[in-house]
């Protein structure tokens, strides 16, 4: 029987915290005893809930977490006061006191940030821990090789501040054969070999699968924890952790030759029975995944049956072809799976010319969110 609260929503977003912790264990078991498995929980833990996912990981043994923003770190440290929390976006001007008071560690990525953090350490007379981010080729955040060496040789800075971690980020880890991976590994080793006593980190989710050479002292997986696909060239070994379902609002007939949806982009090539479901791009269902007469779009799953999208994805609804599916399964009020164990986020993302990261972090703002097992 449908719960009264459930009936008020157009869709359901189910998150399996046990699957997230199981994925963390899978990744941890790929490491040597030397390396620690952290967790990247930025962007609301990739859409699964920052506090809920992080607490589950903490209870399973994870002790180091990475977020993007200071505000995320503050939310996190309230529930796990003894966890180590790093802010990947670095030191925003004027935030050193707030971070230090809450035991939060910025990942310093420029000489300005290093100097501001060192000045704060000098003023307070304390060696507040922070990480250093060195760029090895992605050319986003990060100290250049010359800047890193200058920082590490600067006696005034080293007198008041010793890095708790030196890290870099892979540009092409999703493609194991890409030469950029080995090039970045070589650059990272060359830059950091003179500092054996400082922990090091290079591997994200993809880096974990690239092998022990990339693991160093700490890995910081993200997408793999939430069931996403880290590598482009191999099957995904992670458990699905998210399921998105949308409610069927009505089923109707469309005669051959009529068009469906905005812009009349798709024509019925036969007499169709279609289901209109309460999910659209306002719920994270990408408009680019829609279907036209020229190119087919994505699909949903109904009890093991594929239901192709018909026409454009609109703000609040999607139309599905359910002609060959039992009317009992496509009745008004029934739910269809838009993403989950039957339809991986990476497969859905391919139809929208995007990646599963984008789907996961944009899902279900208007859906009923619940935490339960997917099995």
Torsion 119-122-125-128 (CA) sign: positive
In angstroms, the CA 59 to CA 54 distance is 9
Q: Which pair of tokens denotes residue 248?
A: 């069927």
Asked if residue 89 lies in contact with residue 68, where contact means CB atoms within 8 angstroms, the answer is yes
- Cβ count within 10 A of residue 93: 8
Q: Say whether 262 is catalytic.
A: yes
In angstroms, the CA 201 to CA 131 distance is 10
Of 345, 361, 264, the residue nearest 312 (C-alpha): 264
Q: What is the 3-state secondary structure (H, E, C) of 30-88?
A: CCCCCCEECEECHHHHHCCCHHHHHHHHHHCCCCEEEECCHHHHHHHHHHCCCCEEEEC
Q: Which pair of tokens denotes residue 83?
A: 């966890």
Asked if residue 367 lies in contact with residue 280, where contact means CB atoms within 8 angstroms, the answer is no
Asked if residue 214 lies in contact with residue 230, where contact means CB atoms within 8 angstroms, the answer is no
Q: What is the torsion angle, in degrees rounded to the nearest 10, for the CA atoms of residue 282, residue 41, residue 141 and residue 130?
A: 150
| Catalytic residue, candidates 28, 214, 243, 262 | 262
Q: Say whether 186 is catalytic.
A: no
In angstroms, the CA 330 to CA 323 distance is 10
Asked if residue 319 lies in contact with residue 260, where contact means CB atoms within 8 angstroms, the answer is yes
- Burial class from Cβ neighbours inside 10 Å (0-12, 13-18, 19+) for residue 217 reads middle
Radius of gyration of the chain (CA): 24
In angstroms, the CA 4 to CA 282 distance is 23
- Cβ count within 10 A of residue 14: 19
Asked if residue 110 lies in contact with residue 135, where contact means CB atoms within 8 angstroms, the answer is no
| Catalytic residue, candidates 28, 30, 42, 75 | 42
Asked if residue 325 lies in contact with residue 302, where contact means CB atoms within 8 angstroms, the answer is yes
* Residues with a known catalytic role: 42, 262
């Amino acid at each position: 029987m449908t719960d009264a609260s459930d009936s008020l929503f157009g869709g359901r977003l189910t998150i399996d915290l046990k699957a997230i912790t199981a994925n963390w264990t899978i990744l941890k078991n790929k490491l040597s005893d030397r390396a620690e498995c952290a967790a990247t929980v930025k962007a609301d833990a990739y859409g699964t809930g920052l506090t809920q996912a992080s607490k589950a990981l903490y209870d399973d043994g994870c002790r180091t977490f990475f977020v993007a923003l200071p505000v995320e770190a503050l939310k996190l440290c309230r529930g796990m006061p003894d966890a180590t929390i790093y802010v990947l976006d670095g030191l925003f001007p004027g935030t050193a006191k707030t971070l230090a008071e809450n035991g939060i560690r910025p990942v310093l990525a420029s000489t300005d940030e290093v100097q501001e953090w060192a000045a704060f350490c000098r003023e307070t007379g304390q060696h507040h821990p922070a990480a250093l981010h060195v760029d090895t080729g992605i050319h986003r955040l990060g100290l250049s090789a010359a800047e890193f060496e200058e920082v590490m040789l600067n006696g005034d800075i080293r007198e008041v501040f010793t890095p708790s971690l030196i890290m870099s980020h892979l540009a092409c880890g999703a493609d194991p054969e890409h030469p950029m991976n080995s090039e970045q590994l070589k650059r990272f080793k060359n830059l950091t070999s003179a500092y054996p006593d400082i922990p090091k980190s290079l591997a994200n989710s993809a880096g974990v699968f690239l092998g022990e050479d990339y693991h160093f002292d700490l890995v910081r997986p993200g997408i793999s924890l939430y069931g996403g696909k880290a590598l482009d060239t191999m099957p995904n070994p992670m458990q699905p952790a998210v399921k998105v379902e949308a409610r069927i609002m009505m089923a109707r007939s469309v005669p051959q030759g009529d068009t469906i949806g905005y812009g009349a982009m798709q024509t019925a090539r036969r007499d169709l029975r279609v289901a209109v479901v309460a999910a659209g791009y306002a719920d994270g269902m990408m408009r680019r995944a829609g279907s036209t007469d020229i190119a087919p779009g994505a699909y949903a799953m109904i009890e093991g049956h594929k239901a192709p999208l018909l026409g454009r994805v609109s703000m609040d609804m999607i139309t599905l072809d359910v002609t060959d599916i039992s009317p009992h399964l496509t009745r008004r009020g029934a739910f269809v799976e838009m993403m989950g164990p039957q339809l991986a986020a990476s497969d859905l993302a391919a139809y929208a010319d995007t990646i599963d990261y984008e789907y996961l972090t944009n899902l279900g703002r208007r859906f009923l969110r619940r935490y339960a097992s997917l099995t």
